[in-house]
Amino acid sequence: MTRRAPTDAEWEALRFAWRVCAHVKSNAVVFTSHDRTIAIGAGQMSRVDAVKLAVMKAEERGERDRLAGSVVASDAFFPFADGIVALVRAGATAVVQPGGSVRDAEVIAAADQQGLAMVFTGRRHFKH
């Protein structure tokens, strides 16, 4: 969806993140590498709060630095650009999400501005 497509390494990590995200309770963001879950923020109504929770969990384990260069899967769309900014500040370089927000254009523009690669699946993983 963005001007920058994911790199081959990011694609591999995004596929892994999307599979992990399918097994997490709703309102989740999942930070991963290509073979490891780094942090999960779940159960939040706000994507920004989900990112903050994931970052907090990584910090508690002394793994905050692992978020640099990570990718993210979100089980639902980003309704506002602030969630994208939060991902980048946390260290993510690419994100996979369902898309479908009335503000998708704004979210894509924010990702482009931040240099974040974004992929839409057209499918939600909402798990209640």
Per-residue pLDDT tens listing for the chain (128 residues): 999 999 999 999 999 999 999 999 888 999 999 999 999 999 998 999 999 999 999 999 999 999 999 999 999 999 999 999 999 999 999 999 999 999 999 999 999 999 999 999 998 876 55
Residue ranges making up the domain that contains 101:
8-120
For residue 54, being part of any structural domain is answered with yes
In-domain check, residue 128: no
**For residue 11, what pLDDT is reported?**
98
13 within a domain of the structure (yes/no): yes
> What pTM, to 2 d.p., does this model score?
0.95
Give pLDDT, residue 19.
Answer: 95
Residue 101 counted as domain residue: yes
What is the number of domains present in the chain?
A: 1
Tell me if 88 is assigned to some domain. yes
CATH number at 12 reads: 3.40.140.20
Write b or e for each residue in 5-35: b if 16 or more Cβ atoms lie within 10 A of its Cβ, otherwise e. ebeeebbebbbbbbebbeebeebbbbbbbee
73: CB partners within 8 A, 6+ apart: 14, 17, 18, 20, 21, 29, 30, 32, 95, 96, 97
Let me know if residue 125 belongs to a domain: no
pLDDT the model gives residue 83: 97
